[in-house]
Structure 1
Amino acid sequence: MAKKVTLKDIAAAAGISPASVSMILNRRSIDRFNKETVEQVFALVESMGYQSSKGKNYSLVKPSDTLITIVCPSVFNPFYTTIIQGIEIAARKQGFVTSVHTTYWDTETEKFIMEQARKFNVAGVIFAMIPQQPQLAYELGRKLPVVAIGDRRGDLELATVDMNNFTAGQLMGKHLLEYGHRKIAYISTTLNEQHTSRVRRCQGLEAACKAYQGAGLKVFTKEITPDYEISNVDVEYTTGYELATTCLRQSPETTAIVAINDMVAYGAYDAICDQGLRIPEDISLCGFDNIFPSRLQGIGLTTIDNSLTECGKSAFHLLEEEIANYERHGKFQSITHVEYKCRLVPRKSSGPAPQK
């Protein structure tokens, strides 16, 4: 009868301690060991026929040199799918492939995705939004290249592709104020510190209003939980419809509604029409992001463009730079920021304020 292979046998063959072999096989503190040692241990386990006392078979999920993990809240909103496609356009040209993971703004899901990216040693991670748990993203960034796309923040210790949402809000506010609007409403899904882009757009609108005498901004929001979001595919549309209806009922003096994004604006569009009002003759409607449906003639939504495809491409190029830095210096050390200027895209959904 053949002698049973033990951890000591694997350790002796690999030239490391049995404790190290155990950590590698059970993936405890595996990042302490270099890639060659990890691969050698798993190769010895396979060739020597080692099995644990519980009969567990071990096999190596080899580190990937070409797989990129993309993290995003959902793929229903074309805002995120456009960014993802921009990443993939650039990535595929360089021989990389992507794996998309959705969080629905759930922090535990976000944490799990980061843990899995580290465990399986992917080539890098791109967040299509600002991570809700920046500290965990920083820790991951010590082991893998990490890039984020989202609101411009000076305190974020990651390579980022920035969108200046404060300026975007100002641009939209100025557009409506120059049309004579003084009673403006802002409607948004959950508005808190974890959604800085939404807050900054609101702050930009408020700043614009302060520059015009008699101008004011009313804010209408609805808290959306991760469970509710994952269970309701059309959550942004329905939220837009609900908030616009509330706005028209509670603040009938409103002459312009600005939605947090184009998807929410579509819901507001139907709510306004269902109230028997005309766009833009009775009330103007605007959004943010300039996703594809907004340009259709039946919608013609005034919005803000953030060069989403180009943002995705730039995020991949930043990731490439991080990978190159690691190959040259043995660590991820650069924090690069790229910013695309937002621009107003005026369409038929906005016009002069009605004389009420």
Structure 2
Amino acid sequence: MNRKNVTSTDVARRAGVSQSTVSMILNKKYNVSFSRETILRVEEAARELGYSMERKQKKPRIQMLGTIFVLCPNLTNPYYFSLLQGIEKTAKKNRYDVFLCNTGRDYGTEEKYLKKIEKLNPSGIIFTFTPSFPELVREISGKIPVILIGEKDAVRGIDMVELNSERMGKILAEHLLKLGHRKVAFLSTPLTQRQSARRARIRGFCRAFEEAGYRESVYVRSLPEEMDVMFQEVDMEYKTGYELASSLVMEIPDITAVAGTNDMVALGIRDALLDRHYRIPEDISVLGCDNLLFSGLRGIDLTTVEHFTPKKGENACEILLKKIEGRKQNRDKSSQGMIYHIEYEPRLILRGSTSYPRQL
């Protein structure tokens, strides 16, 4: 191997550890504890390959001061625009520029952005979703302030504006139970391991029906996991609701209520039912989650759950600015030691798309 081209990835491969572990050990930045054996193995692999952190660190470091990078999984759901609106409003007020990175839910793209952003050394980073590389994000947070808008307890050791998606799912279920619904469905976009919010909403929904003694009458349907990367298409979430609802009513014609994992899915459910001449809510109730702007428009009138999306964006940026200011004032220890966690209590927005179940 040409020693001039040796990278930390090569060292990681030789030592049998992750690239971020190599970086932390050779930089002497132990955000987590490593065994003596692991440290020695990494150092030995670096020596054998001729890899030198000192040589790597000689390059002058770019600094994009006054810049915040925001990572977003897609630009097809208005939910993310609401978050961005809150982030940008606060950033502009404090004279910071915002750069948007759309990962397209692709692991490789996300990792590439993270590594490039780390080299650019901006003032801060905001994740609008749960990162796929939490260990790498924790490493970066030791050098650049990072804030996460994501599922509660999804990543430890990072400042967060938390989503309580399990509570959101429970709110939807409790509303249907109070109305008297017993045979219901929950339709979702793909339930991949990294989509913790989707899985949490379903968990809360099903748990409420289970506690009421009706778990067996809850039907959960989702797209295959491999379709998650297709969600760059503008109408994919809407199509998910439409297609799943279309097949659902053929399979289970006596269903009385259908919930979508978000408002976009719920709108697809609504249109599929209307196209098949079901009345909403007289025949089937429909409800979603996120309280998007057009969910409350006349003619749609969707019952949903509000969890204050723009405000979460504002809070995320405010926390980030506090962390940035702390480092500017050379108060690194206090700013890094304090972990911020903010959570809003979601609430039901009752509209005209839900009612009592039809008599079967």
Query: Quick check: TM above 0.5?
Result: yes
Q: Which residue of 1 aligns with 2:88?
A: 88
Alignment deviations for residues 143-170 of structure 1 (CA, whole Å, 9 cap, x no partner): 1111110211165221000111111111
Q: Say whether residues 1:347 and 2:348 are aligned partners.
A: no
Q: Which residue of 2 aligns with 1:225?
A: 227
Q: Distance in 1 between matches of 2:228 and 2:207?
A: 31
Matched position secondary structure for 1:225: helix
Letter in 1 for 2:207: A
Q: Which residue of 2 aligns with 1:151?
A: 151
Alignment deviations for residues 17-56 of structure 1 (CA, whole Å, 9 cap, x no partner): xxxxxxxxxxx959986xxx966xxxxxxxxxxxxxxxxx
Matches within 5 A, 1:84-163: 84-153=84-153, 155-163=155-163
What percentage of aligned pairs have identical amino acids? 34
Matched position secondary structure for 2:122: coil
- State TM-score, norm by structure 1: 0.81
Q: Which residue of 2 aligns with 1:278?
A: 279
Q: Say whether residues 1:256 and 2:257 are aligned partners.
A: yes
Matched position secondary structure for 2:65: coil
Q: Which residue of 1 aligns with 2:298?
A: 297
Alignment length, in residue pairs?
A: 304
Matched position secondary structure for 2:198: helix
Letter in 2 for 1:143: K
Letter in 1 for 2:227: T
Q: Say whether residues 1:288 and 2:289 are aligned partners.
A: yes
Alignment deviations for residues 70-118 of structure 1 (CA, whole Å, 9 cap, x no partner): 0011122110000001001111110001011111211111111111111
Q: CA RMSD in A?
A: 2.0
Q: 1:336 Cα deviation (Å)? A: 1.1
Q: Kindly indicate whether the alpha-carbon contact (under 8 Å) linking 1:325 and 1:333 is maintained by their aligned counterparts in 2.
A: no
- CA 1:176–1:227 in 2, change beyond 3 Å: closer, same or farther? closer
Q: 1:64 Cα deviation (Å)? A: 1.5
- CA 1:99–1:66 in 2, change beyond 3 Å: closer, same or farther? same
- State TM-score, norm by structure 2: 0.80
Q: Distance in 1 between matches of 2:131 and 2:154?
A: 14
- CA 1:178–1:286 in 2, change beyond 3 Å: closer, same or farther? same
Q: Which residue of 2 aligns with 1:63?
A: 63
Q: Which residue of 1 aligns with 2:267?
A: 266
Matched position secondary structure for 1:123: strand
Q: Distance in 2 between matches of 1:63 and 1:30?
A: 19
Q: Distance in 2 between matches of 1:98 and 1:333?
A: 26
Matches within 5 A, 1:178-217: 178-214=178-214, 216-217=217-218
Structure 1 unpaired stretches of 5+: 1-27, 40-59
Q: 1:252 Cα deviation (Å)? A: 1.4
Q: Distance in 1 between matches of 2:55 and 2:301?
A: 52
Q: Which residue of 2 aligns with 1:336?
A: 340
Q: Distance in 2 between matches of 1:30 and 1:218?
A: 58
Letter in 1 for 2:186: Y
Letter in 1 for 2:145: P
Matched position secondary structure for 1:218: strand
Q: Distance in 2 between matches of 1:82 and 1:297?
A: 21
Structure 2 unpaired stretches of 5+: 1-51
